[in-house]
Amino acid sequence: MNTQLEMTNGVAAKASVAARPARHLHVLTPLPYAEGALAPIISEATVRLHYTKHNKGYVDELNRLVANTRFADLSLEAVIQATAGIPEHVSIFNNAAQAWNHAFYWRSLAPTGGASVPPVLESRIESVFGTLPALKKELRTAATTQFGSGWAWLVVEGNTLKVVKTSNAATPLTAHLKPLMVIDVWEHAYYLDFQNRRVEYVDAILDHLVNWTFVAENLSGA
């Protein structure tokens, strides 16, 4: 009798758990291309390490940190906004922002990037920076002068375009800026391929990998 009761209670318990809505989980955004597609500029080994270890690590740690908290059911962007600048939630912010920044970085690159700039975007770039090479120079300066780990961004501020840099996990989202593209200058983004030659890595991205179509799409939605 006791055994039957235990079995019945066990089935009921399982049914109850199954009936509850699943807790929101943040997922690792799929790469928009194969791991080796950015070679020879960014090697398959670098992309695999960067994506499956660093990027995935931020997503996994974020899910662990927000479990059973008031942040558990928020979108990634909402978690970032809700934890920015709050010391007791710095670990949640760091992992959420890094998960978002990395997903945006992968889409800022393309195997066939670097050359063709959509006309509408080119016109906006020329109206603000004068020429595309002038914009690249500003991005290069931001990326190569960022001390330590961080990011170099092209953003929309108000009605104009602007180049900014952020350190560690910081993101333009918390400064009410609209990101258009980003270059990751954390060492894990380039050290296997370029060692300490950050300048060469940045120049290679600007000349051959920027996904200007993605930049234009972001601008049209600004």
If pLDDT is split at 50, 70 and 90, which confidence band does 222 have?
A: low
The total of structural domains in the chain comes to 1
Residue 201 domain flag? yes
The CATH number assigned to the domain holding 159 equals 3.55.40.20
Q: Which residues of 108-134 are buried (b: 16+ CB within 10 A; e: fewer)?
A: bbbbebbeebeeebbebbeeebeeeee
pLDDT band at 8 (very low <50, low <70, confident <90, very high): very low
Residue 110, SS3 per DSSP: coil
Distance CA 158, CA 154 (A): 13
- 190 located within any domain: yes
* pLDDT computed for residue 37 by the predictor: 98
pLDDT over 70 percentage in the chain: 89
C-alpha distances out from residue 4 to 9, 16, 24, 37, 212, Å: 9, 18, 35, 58, 65
Mean pLDDT (whole number) for 75-94: 98
Asked whether residue 19 carries a pLDDT value surpassing 60, the answer given is: no
Q: Which range is least confidently modeled, 18-27, 156-165, 204-213?
A: 18-27
* Nearest 10 degrees: Cα torsion 179, 180, 186, 189: 140
Alpha-carbon separation of residue 26 from 46, 61, 64, 100 (angstroms): 23, 10, 10, 10
* 3-class SS of residue 145: helix
161 forms beta bridges with 156
Q: Judge whether residue 14 has pLDDT over 50.
A: no
Residue 78 falls within a domain, yes or no?
no
Mean pLDDT of 96-106: 98
Residue 80 in 3-state DSSP? helix
Query: If you average pLDDT over residues 14-20, what whole number do you get?
Result: 34
Q: Domain containing 209: what range?
A: 119-220
pLDDT single digits (tens) 144-176: 999 999 999 999 999 999 999 999 999 999 999
Question: Is residue 107 one of the residues assigned to a domain?
Answer: no
With a pLDDT cut of 90, the percent of the chain lying above it is 86
Task: Check residue 114 and give its pLDDT.
Answer: 82
- As a whole number of angstroms, the distance between CA 96 and CA 94 comes to 6
Task: Give the pLDDT of residue 13.
Answer: 34
Q: Evaluate whether residue 213 is within a structural domain.
A: yes
The residues facing 154 across adjacent strands are 163, 181
How confident is the model over 70-85, as a mean pLDDT? 97
Rounded to an integer, what distance in angstroms lies between the CA atom of residue 131 and that of residue 72?
45
Tell me: cis bond preceding 21? Omega within 30 of 0 counts. no
Let me know if residue 195 belongs to a domain: yes
Measured from the Cβ of residue 53, the count of other Cβ atoms closer than 10 Å reads 10
pTM: 0.89
Mean per-residue pLDDT over the chain, rounded: 90
Interatomic CA distance for residues 84 and 74, integer angstroms:
14
Does residue 141 lie within any of the structural domains?
A: yes
Judge whether 172 lies within some domain: yes
